[in-house]
Amino acid sequence: QVQLVETGGGLVQAGGSLRLSCATSVRTFVPFTMGWFRQAPGEEREFVAAIRWSGGSTDYADSVKGRFTISRDSAENAVFLQMSSLKPEDTAIYYCAFRWAGSPATTPNTYDYWGQGTQVTVSS
């Protein structure tokens, strides 16, 4: 069982920045990927960004490219999402996710474990 704990959400004005963190309990040499998804009220959960733990290559949704950066810290066993130039449409619950595979994945049902989510609200 992999545990994921997100922190760092909050309320910010448009144009501001937030940094989300996700601590994971996993320690393995098996390839895996970690991602961030978000879900706004009445909307489906959507892909935001992902990072392959081995090698550190990343993928981003077009809507966040150039504004968000995903990174990892192997020593802390954590993944981060630095969000800048935030817009009101970025308002959502943000979820950290874990996938037992090192290949890219942008659909939620390909991830095996999820955190509890953290609320991000961007005011205009």
Contact 43, 89 (CB under 8 A): no
Contact 33, 57 (CB under 8 A): no
* Nearest to 117, CA basis, from 22, 48, 41, 24: 22
Distances (CA, A) of 6 to 11, 83, 95, 124: 16, 14, 7, 25
32-77 tens-digit pLDDT: 899 999 999 999 999 999 999 888 899 999 999 999 999 999 888 8
73-96 tens-digit pLDDT: 988 889 999 999 999 999 999 999
